[in-house]
Amino acid sequence: MTNLCSSARAGFAARFGRAPDGLWSAPGRVNLIGEHTDYNEGFVLPLAIDRRTIVALAPRDDRLMRVASSFAERTVELGLDDLIPENLADWSAYPLGIAWALGQFGADLGAVTGFDAYIVSDVPVGAGLSSSAAIECAVAVALNDLWQLGLELRTLALAGQLAENQVVGAPTGIMDQSASLLGRVDAVVFLDCRSLHAEVIPLGCDPAGLDLLIIDSQVSHAHSTGGYASRRASCELGARLMGVPALRDLGVSDLARAAELLDDETFRRVRHIVTENQRVLETVQTLREQGPTAIGALLDASHLSMRDDFEISVPELDLAVETARAAGAIGARMTGGGFGGAAIALIPSGLRPVIEAAVGAAFTARGYVAPVMFVVRAADGAHKVE
Ligand code: ADP
Ligand code: MG
């Protein structure tokens, strides 16, 4: 964190020739359980992780926005009067898209000042850990302060989602931004994606001697295209044919009727969502009553449902999950939108070297690119750092 902060300060000074007014930070997230349930108005259980994006920012006297990132050589400039989604592209669509989206949620963009912003991050990009929400939420809390908007965290989450949907063009739900804004140390965020009611639930990994191991398969995923959009379409079709506003409204007892009414593929998509919602609720209850050591079977069942019913896994993720389980993980599942990205394994801390070695060896044996493995801890959500 300290290193990241000093590189944010140094980078800002190098690009803009002055010191920033402040530093704001937001974490990436990993989803413990509840996959593709968010846009079905169901339940998710993510946590903010100790990988963060920092934005160093200072206001300008004029109406120009200048954004720069350690990821990109070019500094992108845009006037506030030209701030429409059509003018935004590439990585700068994330920070500038947030500025636009805040306007949709009440910020008077005709009256605010411009700013200079410099962004650094140690959230891996494209690994399913939502570097996109981290950058959106860091900029959102920074602009909320700079422009004295006084918007609530839940509104900032909606602004992040709007930017991602309308500006970036990725049809994602509200989960990533909610986790990045609301997360807490050693806790998960239980989010009802219909009411947007959020509750912080103790995870208890530290006292239980457990670690959350991320196994980044190095297979890159593409959110805005292909599989993700088609899964959303299947869910919408399933809900329409079942006569409910969203799949959230179906329970396990509706599955027999769904099997009769729907074609096989749509049925399996629906079954994943219905059972996954149920698993999120059971995970919350199990965490409360028994602690994290008891949630392994729920994580395992979630993976199988994504592999077989929702069909969003890839062989690398299946191998990571199976190998981690065989080597002593309490439970494991792929996480994130699918088609690549990462798996998580809940592991006894002492077994970490054994499990990492087993997964590494299994990937080598299949001729896969070596996975990148690291432990994450549940961390606090977005805030002003200094
Ligand atoms: P992820 O799963 O990591 O969220 P996405 O494809 O949704 O993957 O978002 C990654 C994109 O977000 C990057 O390609 C880049 O455009 C943008 N991004 C994320 N972090 C940064 C950063 N620190 N600086 C600039 N752009 C970033
Ligand atoms: Mg993303």
Domain assignment present for residue 381? The answer is: no
pLDDT tens for each residue of 186-230: 999 999 999 989 999 999 999 999 999 999 999 986 554 678 889
Can you tell me the distance from the alpha carbon of 175 to that of 128, in angstroms, rounded to the nearest whole number?
Answer: 12
> How many CA atoms, within 13 angstroms, populate the side-chain half-sphere of residue 54?
24
Q: Residue with the nearest Cα to atom 27 of ligand 1?
A: 91
Query: What local confidence, expressed as pLDDT, does residue 171 receive?
Result: 78
Of residues 220 and 354, more confidently modeled: 354
Domain assignment present for residue 382? The answer is: no
Looking at the fold, whether 197 and 215 belong to one and the same domain comes out as: no
Ligand nearest to the CA of 134: 1
Looking at the fold, whether 81 and 20 belong to one and the same domain comes out as: yes
Domain assignment present for residue 384? The answer is: no
Calculate mean pLDDT across residues 333-360. Answer: 95
Place of tokens 């080598």: 364
**What average pLDDT does the structure give for the chain?**
96
Q: How many angstroms is it from 213 CA to the middle of ligand 1?
A: 22
Domain assignment present for residue 386? The answer is: no
The CATH code of the domain that includes 265 is 3.30.70.890
Looking at the fold, whether 231 and 301 belong to one and the same domain comes out as: yes
Can you tell me the distance from the alpha carbon of 10 to that of 371, in angstroms, rounded to the nearest whole number?
Answer: 32
- DSSP letter for each residue of 276-302: HHHHHHHHHHHHHHT-GGG-HHHHHHH
Domain final residue pick, 145, 176, 201: 201
Query: What local confidence, expressed as pLDDT, does residue 224 receive?
Result: 41
Looking at the fold, whether 222 and 171 belong to one and the same domain comes out as: no
Cβ atoms < 10 Å from Cβ of 231: 21
Q: In terms of C-beta density within 10 A (0-12 exposed, 13-18 middle, 19 or more buried), how is residue 328 classed?
A: middle
Cβ atoms < 10 Å from Cβ of 169: 12
Can you tell me the distance from the alpha carbon of 62 to that of 80, in angstroms, rounded to the nearest whole number?
Answer: 9
Mutate to test the pocket of ligand 1, among 74, 91, 164 (most ligand atoms within 8 A of CB): 91
Domain assignment present for residue 153? The answer is: yes
Looking at the fold, whether 298 and 159 belong to one and the same domain comes out as: no
Looking at the fold, whether 21 and 147 belong to one and the same domain comes out as: yes
Question: 327: helix, coil or strand?
Answer: coil
Domain assignment present for residue 225? The answer is: yes
Per-residue pLDDT at 356 exceeds 80:
yes
Position in ligand 1 atom list of the atom nearest CA 133:
4
Domain assignment present for residue 224? The answer is: yes
Gyration radius of the chain over CA positions:
21
Domain final residue pick, 169, 201, 233: 201
Query: What ipTM was estimated for this complex?
Result: 0.99
> How many CA atoms, within 13 angstroms, populate the side-chain half-sphere of residue 190?
17
Domain final residue pick, 182, 201, 220: 201
Helix (H) or strand (E) holding 52: strand 46-59
Domain assignment present for residue 237? The answer is: yes
Q: How many angstroms is it from 151 CA to the middle of ligand 2?
A: 23
Looking at the fold, whether 121 and 65 belong to one and the same domain comes out as: yes
Calculate mean pLDDT across residues 61-75. Answer: 97
Looking at the fold, whether 184 and 263 belong to one and the same domain comes out as: no
Looking at the fold, whether 183 and 243 belong to one and the same domain comes out as: no
Query: What local confidence, expressed as pLDDT, does residue 173 receive?
Result: 82
The residue segments making up the domain with residue 69 are 2-201
Looking at the fold, whether 169 and 234 belong to one and the same domain comes out as: no
Q: Count Cβ neighbours within 10 Å for each residue of 274-307 and write b for 16 or more, e otherwise.
A: bbbbbbbeebbebbeeebbbebbebbbbbbebbb
Chain-centroid distance, C-alpha 107: 25
Question: Which residue in 38, 82, 145, 176 is the catalytic one?
Answer: 176
Calculate mean pLDDT across residues 261-279. Answer: 98
**Which letter does DSSP use for residue 204 in this model?**
-
The CATH code of the domain that includes 117 is 3.30.230.10
Per-residue pLDDT at 1 exceeds 70:
no
Query: What local confidence, expressed as pLDDT, does residue 30 receive?
Result: 96
Looking at the fold, whether 154 and 222 belong to one and the same domain comes out as: no
Looking at the fold, whether 319 and 270 belong to one and the same domain comes out as: yes
pLDDT tens for each residue of 294-321: 999 999 999 999 999 999 999 999 999 9
Question: 83: helix, coil or strand?
Answer: coil
Give yes or no: 206 in active site: no
pLDDT tens for each residue of 133-190: 999 999 999 999 999 999 999 999 999 999 999 999 887 888 999 999 999 999 999 9
Alpha helices in the chain (DSSP H): 2-16, 93-104, 131-146, 153-162, 175-182, 205-208, 227-242, 255-261, 264-289, 296-304, 315-326, 352-366
Per-residue pLDDT at 352 exceeds 50:
yes
The DSSP bridge partners found for residue 362 are none
Query: What local confidence, expressed as pLDDT, does residue 330 receive?
Result: 98
Q: How many distinct structural domains can be found in the chain? A: 2
Q: How many angstroms is it from 177 CA to the middle of ligand 2?
A: 10
Give 31's pLDDT tier (boundaries 50, 70, 90): very high
